[in-house]
Structure 1
Amino acid sequence: MKISKLLILTFTMTVLINCEDRRTSGTSDLRIIALSPSLVETVFFLGGGKNIVGASSFCNYPEEAKNIPVVANVSDINLEYAVKLKPDIVLLMPGQDNIAAKLNLLNIKTLKVSQEKLDDILNSFTVIGREIGREQRALAVKDSLNKVLESYKKPANNKTVLISAGREYGTGITYIFSNGHTGFLNDIIKLMGYSNALDTAVPYPKIGAETVMTLDPDIIIDLVPSDITSSTEELLKDWELFRTTKAWKNDAIFILKGDHTTIPGPRIFDLIKELNEKGL
């Protein structure tokens, strides 16, 4: 199994380096605005980063993305600035309808790209690749990453997982923002053979400490933003209130640090790899 994964990952890197769409030369002057961190990362991942002339706030990866002019936040856009950038296309999330409507009134081409579920993330490569002249590269990457996912797929077991996608840090936990049974984080849990301890369609519900203890999950996955400087040991200490849960008793509270853990873009495959390395 380890050998096959290594071969697949090697193939993926080869694709990223060598597989260029023949139409790329015709799109070298393409001007793109991408209005979410995940969309920016996806364009860079497909080799079109140099074509991004505008982005939304909080687009910090890769390093070059920090230098892209900010033209919008998640819910609004500086129209005057966006027009000055003369974009050929603006990539948006499905929830940014109000921004799309404003741009369409100005005859600026927009494309809504869903990255909510794991399949959506994979499909977004080809959707975006087709628009930016990287379709062949995108198809090859999607096929390769599908094989990587298959290599991590495990049979279903009877263990439950609770995800913390946001909480108080450096203090006893009184609430967490968890993850419902929709979205890419839930898909990752299922891929690895587990079931979600929280049965709700709400994407990121806020639940109290009492609810966490009532759910009594076998495993807790604590996703921590990169700007939290606490050590893993300090972050684990925040969970001491839950000493009676199965997750605490079985040393099954896993801390994973980094913004890539909650951004639904290409780096989500790094999260899957990290979870696998922790024995999940």
Structure 2
Amino acid sequence: MLLKLLFIFIMAVQLSAVERIIALSPAANEMIFALGEGDKVVGNTSYCNTPKEARSVTKVGGYFSPSLEKIVTLSPDLVIMQDNNPPLTQKLIQLGIKTIVIKIDTIDSIKKAFFTIAKPLHAEAKAAVITKKIDKSLMGLRGIVQHKKILIVIGSPTDLSKEIYVAGQNLYFDDIIQASGNVNALQSSRKGQPVLNLEKILKTNPDIVIVLAPLMKERHLTREMILSPWRDLPINAVKTHSVFIQEGDYAGIPSDRIVLFIDDFGKILRESKH
């Protein structure tokens, strides 16, 4: 029933002018701005900090806990959100607020989301430019190194005896690894967030480790603090000095800035050859 209601509201959005948009995730917010429609954003979350113009937009709460009251007060023509809060989606629709829900787990779904958002904004041409740029960036990864097992670690752990969060095969990280001609060191069909322990890290024996550390400075961590726990591990990545840190926050925000992470990924692959 909810899917049917969503279809009806998306069709209604496409038939009417959109002037007041609320973005309920950093990715949705960045996509709107990337499409050249940022001046229509009247509300977003407290985590929507890019581009800088988004910081002065009225905040409606956090990513997981936006205020329905604040949303309604802003009288939006359109709310754009991710598929992480079905109860809120249903409430918005019941209130007659036009709502678009995007899924951005994979590269294909990210590109599709751009066109889904672009359609009611009549910005399809811009969406095409952005998605082609993503494809071009992915093509640029081919042939740098191949057939390597790559492990992407999330959260910059400084103690590997505790839980280690990694990128599984259900996210865009895996698409990027595959596009480069390499494989995800973690071969698992698990849909949830994969969590490994030290024993499993040793078993996967990755050739390249990439630690995502967007909050490194906020947590007062140094590169040495992040890299030192890996140095004594008997894995290929350590033997070939192929444990790397990626600091950009854009790694975890799948928008047009995904090309920045793809470029970082390419640089890491090139560095791993030396």
- Same fold by TM-score, threshold 0.5 exceeded? yes
Secondary structure class of the residue paired with 2:140: helix
CA distance change for structure 1 residues 168 and 151 in 2, over 3 Å: closer, same or farther? Answer: closer
Q: Which amino acid aligns with 2:179?
A: L
CA distance change for structure 1 residues 249 and 65 in 2, over 3 Å: closer, same or farther? Answer: same
Q: Return the match for 1:255 from 242, 245, 248.
A: 245
Q: Which residue of 2 aligns with 1:55?
A: 44
| Cα offset, 1:275, TM superposition | 1.6
The alignment status of 1:179 with 2:167, answered yes or no, reads yes
The alignment status of 1:84 with 2:84, answered yes or no, reads no
Q: Return the match for 1:235 from 226, 240, 244.
A: 226
Q: Which residue of 2 aligns with 1:134?
A: 123
Q: Which amino acid aligns with 2:237?
A: A
The alignment status of 1:101 with 2:93, answered yes or no, reads no
Deviation digits for residues 49-87 of structure 1, max 9, x if unmatched? 121111123112122222222214334432221111010
- Whether the aligned pair in 2 keeps the contact of 1:36 and 1:57 (CA below 8 Å) is no
CA distance in 1, matches of 2:140, 2:152: 23
- Whether the aligned pair in 1 keeps the contact of 2:138 and 2:176 (CA below 8 Å) is no
| Cα offset, 1:93, TM superposition | 0.7
CA distance in 2, matches of 1:228, 1:256: 15
CA distance in 2, matches of 1:247, 1:34: 40
- Whether the aligned pair in 1 keeps the contact of 2:156 and 2:226 (CA below 8 Å) is no
CA distance change for structure 1 residues 167 and 140 in 2, over 3 Å: closer, same or farther? Answer: closer
Secondary structure class of the residue paired with 2:60: strand
- Whether the aligned pair in 2 keeps the contact of 1:224 and 1:258 (CA below 8 Å) is yes
Deviates most, 121-130 or 98-107: 121-130
| Cα offset, 1:40, TM superposition | 0.7
CA distance change for structure 1 residues 237 and 156 in 2, over 3 Å: closer, same or farther? Answer: closer
Q: Return the match for 1:225 from 211, 214, 227.
A: 214
Deviation digits for residues 111-136 of structure 1, max 9, x if unmatched? 01111101111222211111223122
- Whether the aligned pair in 1 keeps the contact of 2:47 and 2:63 (CA below 8 Å) is no
Q: Return the match for 1:117 from 106, 121, 136.
A: 106
Deviation digits for residues 117-165 of structure 1, max 9, x if unmatched? 0111122221111122312221232234323322333498332111101
In percent, how many aligned pairs have the same letter? Answer: 31
User: Which stretches in structure 1 are left out of the alignment for 5+ residues?
Assistant: 1-25
Secondary structure class of the residue paired with 2:269: coil
TM-score by length of 2: 0.84
Q: Return the match for 1:193 from 181, 185, 198.
A: 181
Q: Return the match for 1:43 from 32, 57, 70.
A: 32
CA RMSD of aligned residues (A): 2.1
CA distance change for structure 1 residues 150 and 172 in 2, over 3 Å: closer, same or farther? Answer: closer
Deviation digits for residues 248-279 of structure 1, max 9, x if unmatched? 11101111002111111111111111121223
TM-score by length of 1: 0.83
- Whether the aligned pair in 2 keeps the contact of 1:172 and 1:241 (CA below 8 Å) is no
Deviation digits for residues 6-43 of structure 1, max 9, x if unmatched? xxxxxxxxxxxxxxxxxxxx96x711111111111111
CA distance change for structure 1 residues 154 and 173 in 2, over 3 Å: closer, same or farther? Answer: farther
User: Which stretches in structure 2 are left out of the alignment for 5+ residues?
Assistant: 1-15
The alignment status of 1:215 with 2:204, answered yes or no, reads yes
- Whether the aligned pair in 2 keeps the contact of 1:179 and 1:203 (CA below 8 Å) is no
Matches within 5 A, 1:142-157: 142-154=131-143, 157=146
